[in-house]
Amino acid sequence: MGVTNRLACYSDPADHYSHRVRIVLAEKGVSAEIIDVVAGRQPAKLIEVNPYGSVPTLIDRDLALYESTVVMEYLDERYPHPPLLPVYPVARANSRLLMHRIQRDWCGLVDTILDPRSKESARVQPRKELRESLTGVSPLFADKPFFLSDEQSLVDCCLLPILWRLPILGIELPRPAKPLLDYMDRQFAREAFQASLSAAEREMR
Ligand SMILES: N[C@@H](CCC(=O)N[C@@H](CS)C(=O)NCC(=O)O)C(=O)O
């Protein structure tokens, strides 16, 4: 498939890393051609611009960018409104650290559970760990509308794709996780979040 828009994004409609970038695009109100990539069947054009053939990959004229955090930060700088990182260096660094922690503590678990090659028995422990970890951090969501912030940030853009997938991850959060469940209700109802969803993602809930 050819890229006709100036801005295009190779995206797997079911992939949580691709979802991060689609949320940023929707929050910024930026229109991009979303090119669906089925796992394991990367188009030749994608391999040409990204040696890993990974998604998400963003194309902006001659620029090809991959790694979701690199893409998200580029979009935030290229389309500054609304800003998705705080202004001050300390707060920016803290946001980046939170994104790193989401990656290290949770993304590995999510990827193992969702990997079609994982045996059901290999999903049990990561599922338990993720459920307990999310329940444990739930009080952090009580005081602010967004994750430790009064404003939407890239941290939310990393977290929401995981939370949206809880039903397909086989995770039901317990009642004590109410602050996190309320956060999910608030965020999932946002117009930009709804606009970010692919057809496959709509079917996940
Ligand atoms: N760390 C990467 C993860 C992206 C990633 O692993 N993408 C997978 C899909 S979940 C992919 O494109 N795999 C195809 C491949 O590597 O051949 C990011 O944040 O963008």
Q: Are residues 49 and 94 in the same domain?
A: no
Q: Are residues 72 and 117 in the same domain?
A: no
- CATH code (residue 63): 3.40.30.10
DSSP string, 134-181: HHHHGGGGSSSSBTTBSS--HHHHHHHHHHHTHHHHT----GGGHHHH
Q: Are residues 126 and 173 in the same domain?
A: yes
Q: Are residues 96 and 168 in the same domain?
A: yes
Question: Does residue 83 form part of some domain?
Answer: no
> In terms of residue numbers, what domain contains 132?
89-190
Q: Are residues 102 and 72 in the same domain?
A: no
Q: Are residues 66 and 94 in the same domain?
A: no
Q: Are residues 107 and 182 in the same domain?
A: yes
CA of 53 to the centre of ligand 1 (A): 8
Q: Give me the residue label for tokens 């689609």.
A: 22
The helix-helix angle for 154-164 and 16-28 (nearest 10°) equals 130
Domain count, the chain: 2
Please say whether the beta carbons of 26 and 193 come within 8 A.
yes
- Residue 1: pLDDT over 50: no
Rg (CA), the chain: 17
Q: Are residues 99 and 45 in the same domain?
A: no
Q: Are residues 110 and 174 in the same domain?
A: yes
3-state secondary structure 10-40: EECCCCHHHHHHHHHHHHHCCCCEEEECECC
pLDDT of residue 6: 86
- Residue 121: pLDDT over 60: yes
pLDDT of residue 2: 47
- Residue 90: pLDDT over 80: yes
Q: How confident is the model at residue 106 (pLDDT cuts 50, 70, 90)?
A: very high
pLDDT 10s digits, 137-164? 999 999 999 999 999 999 999 999 999 9
Q: Buried b vs exposed e over 37-72: b needs ≥16 C-beta within 10 Å?
A: beeeebeebbeebbeebbbbbbbbeeebbbebbebb
Question: Does residue 135 form part of some domain?
Answer: yes
pLDDT of residue 57: 98
pLDDT of residue 5: 57
Question: Does residue 200 form part of some domain?
Answer: no
Does 103 contact ligand 1 (Cβ within 6 A)? no
Q: Buried b vs exposed e over 185-197: b needs ≥16 C-beta within 10 Å?
A: eebeebebbeebb
> What count of other Cβ atoms lies within 10 Å of the Cβ of residue 149?
16
Q: Which of 52, 78, 104 is the last residue of a domain?
A: 78
CA of 56 to the centre of ligand 1 (A): 7
Q: How confident is the model at residue 14 (pLDDT cuts 50, 70, 90)?
A: very high
- Residue 63: pLDDT over 90: yes
Q: Which of 78, 99, 114 is the last residue of a domain?
A: 78
The protein residue whose alpha carbon is closest to atom 11 in ligand 1 is 54
Sign of torsion, CA 161 162 165 167?
negative
Q: Are residues 57 and 135 in the same domain?
A: no
CA of 66 to the centre of ligand 1 (A): 9
pLDDT 10s digits, 30-54? 999 999 999 889 999 999 999 999 9
- CATH code (residue 136): 1.20.1050.10
Q: Are residues 95 and 159 in the same domain?
A: yes
Question: Does residue 204 form part of some domain?
Answer: no
What's the rounded mean pLDDT across residues 106-135?
97
Q: Are residues 100 and 24 in the same domain?
A: no
